[in-house]
Amino acid sequence: MPSPTSRGKACPRNNTSKSPDSVTDAHRPAPNRRSSAKSRQHSTHESPHRQPGRDRGTGHPGCQGRRIDQRRGVRRTGRRCSVREARRRSFRTGRSDLGRVVPGVRQDPRRRGQVRGRRHPPRLRLPLGERRLRPGCHRAGLTWIGPSPQSIRDLGDKVTARHIALKANAPMAPGTKDPVKDAGEVVAFAEEHGVPVAIKAAFGGGGRGMKVAYTIEEIPELFDSATREAVSAFGRGECFVERYLDKARHVEAQVIADQHGNVIVAGTRDCSLQRRFQKLVEEAPAPFLTTEQREKIHSSAKAICKEAGYYGAGTVEFLVGSDGLVSFLEVNTRLQVEHPVTEETAGIDLVRQQFRIAAGEKLEFTEDPTPRGHSFEFRINGEDAGRGFLPAPGPITVYKEPTGPGVRVDSGVVEGDVIGGGFDSMLAKLIVTGENREQALERSRRALAEFQVEGLATVIPFHRHIVSNPAFIGDGEGFDIYTKWIETDWDNPIEPYTGGQPIEDDDNEPRKTVVVEVGGRRLEVSLPGDLALGGGGSNGVATKKPKARTRAKGGNAAVSGDAVTAPMQGTVVKVSVTEGQEVAAGDLVVVLEAMKMENPVTAHKDGVVTGLAVEAGAAVTQGTVLFELK
């Protein structure tokens, strides 16, 4: 079996002479695709409630499926892209057989402050999918690719999923059996079981609609915030509550099940490095687990799938507490953003398996595959790590992907794209694979150093920092990362991005003397320091180092004397005060939403609110004055 290290920088795009059925996945390397914006479109072939902007990012998710679609003679539609006019140039019709550009994003009346007693209208919710989509597919002579609508409904409802997990004897933290009616029920649960408690959207995912309360007093506001986020992202605001495991790791099992009752776990992933309960870095297999923990995760994941009658690809997620306790979290009835790391280490094309399962075929393998090598995925998000990972919409003026052994990039953007605030912040995914975790980390450092995105803030500086952070690297005996590590333990050394251009001064640029061999003779040559990097290129060739950005210190909300300005472009979803109201430092004043995430703006000092310039539903740009404190 080929080693992960034998993979080149990209899989040849014209290698279509063989059908995907002519090679057994278990006996071939995982496809090493460098999937660019020119070959990618959102897919419509999976569950009926997959929505753009949930956690799948901008434009990149469907390239792998599209390649298999074409080989099997499947027509692919792009109608569900919801691509805004500003992104038209990177969503050419060549990416899919059918497609259209949506002129804009319809705004929920709740966001305009005009609650009309109805749910979010533009969402394709599950009941519609159950009643119309699958029967419609059959009438049209189409094959439904993905889990059954019944299992999507049962496992997509996190309360029902908990009931299924209990029947499967999966380990689980205490939680409510049904959605809570109001904040009072959350308070009652917290008083019985203690804090912290997690308030979670019953139909949510991707970290949206989830809030953790560490005190009883903050529960009402967090419950309201979780409900708003759930309505905005999923069209439904129901929430349930469970005991929150503090300092827990997020570990998940990638399952594949056919329609004949066969279920395997293709591998585990660790997704503990998160901000706002949304993943930033994933790796496979999950490191630093005991044999007992790994077996518990595998067996519980299979039992839950069998209890639910699940078939297709899916993810069963768990929390692993600091005391080693494993607790069921949820099931995602779809392929997730991070599935490539499992493909790389298991040697299984997960998208191809979905096609085979939909055709009624049995799994090609009956045993869980043994991991080969180690793989990391870094989400390249449009967020400013120097300002608490605030969303940072804007234009992409420079976009250069890394290459090299074990490097794969799945992206959905090109230079010139304008990234708006109406969708998820993810621009691309960098997947790096090596023979072991140490080699994968070393390759990741090089690839991240090569990755260039300019014009807007991204999380690349954070990734460059984290791959050398001792807590993330581990010492071979332990792993210090957990889901709240960024918010609680990480000392942020990254300066806020200001978007300024560097000042070039070639006369004062540092230089370095290097020895080169020309025609058999060794010569000393003086080079600019950024050209003498000594192996910084993908093939050991020196490459020009990206120039440093101009940055300035700052906080989450810009404060100039009495005035408080918007820290980002977004929409005001809540104003918690009135003109003339007295507030204390730290009190919530305004809540902004951008890229499907809520961001609170608090008072920076004691005072009286004056000049309140915004209301719910107002769109603001970065730097807009929100209010003043006198």
**How confident is the model at residue 509, as a pLDDT?**
54
Q: HSE-up of 149 (CA within 13 Å, CB side)?
A: 16
Residues in the chain, how many? 630
Assess contact for 166 and 195: CB atoms under 8 A.
no
Lowest mean pLDDT among 67-71, 188-192, 217-221, 393-397: 67-71
- Whether the link from the prior residue into 196 is cis, omega within 30° of 0, is yes
Preceding amide of 179 cis, omega within 30? no
Tell me what pLDDT residue 513 has. 57
Residue 511 is predicted with a pLDDT of 55
Read off the amino acid at residue 527. L
The Cα diameter of the chain in Å comes to 82
Phi, psi dihedral angles at 70 (to 5 degrees): -65, -40
Q: Which H or E run includes 184?
A: helix 183-193
Q: What is the dihedral angle through the alpha carbons of 587, 592, 596, 598, rounded to the nearest 10 degrees?
A: 0
Residue 426 β-bridge partners: 381
Residue 117 pLDDT exceeds 50: no
Partner residues linked to 114 by β-bridges: none
Taking alpha carbons only, the member of 206, 195, 178 closest to residue 55 is 206
Task: Please provide the distance, in angstroms rounded to a whole number, between the alpha carbons at the two ends of the chain.
Answer: 70
The whole-angstrom separation of Cα 565 and Cα 582 is 19
- Other Cβ atoms less than 10 A from the Cβ of 18: the count is 9
Confidence of residue 78 (pLDDT cuts 50, 70, 90): very low
pLDDT at 144: 84
Quote the pLDDT of residue 47. Answer: 35
CA dist., res. 70 & res. 16, Å (int): 10
With cut-offs at 50, 70 and 90, classify the pLDDT of residue 526: low
Q: Which residue has the higher pLDDT, 121 or 523?
A: 523
Which range is least confidently modeled, 367-371, 447-451, 583-587?
583-587
Most confident of 87-96, 293-302, 391-400: 293-302
Q: Report which of 185, 179, 149 is spatially closest to residue 162, judged by C-alpha positions.
A: 179
Return the structure tokens found at 595: 């890229």
Phi/psi for 431 (5° steps) reads: -115, 125
Q: What is the mean pLDDT of residues 471-477?
A: 80
Q: For domain 558-629, give its CATH number from 3.30.465.10, 3.10.290.10, 2.40.50.100, 3.40.50.10860.
A: 2.40.50.100
Q: What is the pLDDT of residue 155?
A: 94
The mean pLDDT of 92-120, rounded to a whole number, is: 45
Poorest-confidence range of 81-90, 203-212, 282-291? 81-90
What is the bridge-based pairing of β-strands 326-332 and 312-320?
antiparallel
**Contact 591/576 with Cβ under 8 angstroms?**
yes
Domain locations along the chain: 174-244, 503-547, 558-629
Q: Has residue 189 got a pLDDT over 60?
A: yes
More confident: 98 or 128: 98
The encoded tokens of residue 316 equal 């069963």
Alpha-carbon distance of 271 to 377, in angstroms, equals: 10
- pLDDT exceeds cutoff 60 at 447: yes
Return phi, psi of residue 432, to 5°. Answer: -130, 130
Contacts of 79 (CB under 8 A, 6+ apart): 44, 98, 99, 100
Pull the structure tokens for residue 394.
């804007």
Distance of CA 115 to the CA centre of its chain: 30
pLDDT for the residue numbered 44? 34
Pairing status of strand 607-610 against strand 570-575? unpaired
In the numeric block, which tokens belong to residue 456?
Answer: 């807007």
Window from 134-148, 267-281, 539-553, 579-593 with minimum mean pLDDT: 539-553
Residue 546, pLDDT > 60, answer no
Cα separation, 347 vs 30, whole angstroms: 4
How far apart are the C-alpha atoms of 318 and 316, rounded to whole Å? 7
Weakest mean pLDDT among 123-132, 179-188, 354-363, 431-440: 123-132
Question: Confidence class of residue 207 from pLDDT cuts 50, 70 and 90?
Answer: confident
Q: What are the phi and psi torsion angles at 308 (to 5°)?
A: -90, -5
The string over 467-477, giving b where at least 16 C-beta atoms fall within 10 Å of a residue's C-beta and e elsewhere, is bebebbbbeee
Taking a C-beta distance cutoff of 8 angstroms, is the pair 622, 567 a contact?
Answer: yes
Query: Taking residues 480-491, what's their average pLDDT?
Result: 94
For CA atoms 486, 489, 493, 495, the dihedral sign is positive
pTM over 0.95: no
CB 183 within 8 A of CB 197: no
CATH fit for domain 174-244, picks 3.30.1490.20, 3.30.460.20, 3.30.70.100, 3.30.830.10: 3.30.1490.20
Classified as helix, coil or strand, 619 is strand
Residue 574 has pLDDT above 50, yes or no: yes
Tell me the two tokens of residue 14. 């014209």
Q: Is the pLDDT of residue 217 over 70?
A: yes
Predicted local distance difference test score (pLDDT) of residue 291: 96
pLDDT at 371 over 70: yes
Distance CA 434, CA 389 (A): 29
Res 97: pLDDT: 53
pLDDT at 331: 95
**Mean pLDDT calculated for residue range 38-63:** 41
C-alpha distances in Å from residue 527, one per residue of 28, 36, 101, 351: 44, 34, 49, 48
Q: Dump strand ranges (E) for 151-291.
A: 197-205, 208-213, 239-243, 249-257, 263-275, 278-284
Find the DSSP H helices in 8-72. 63-71
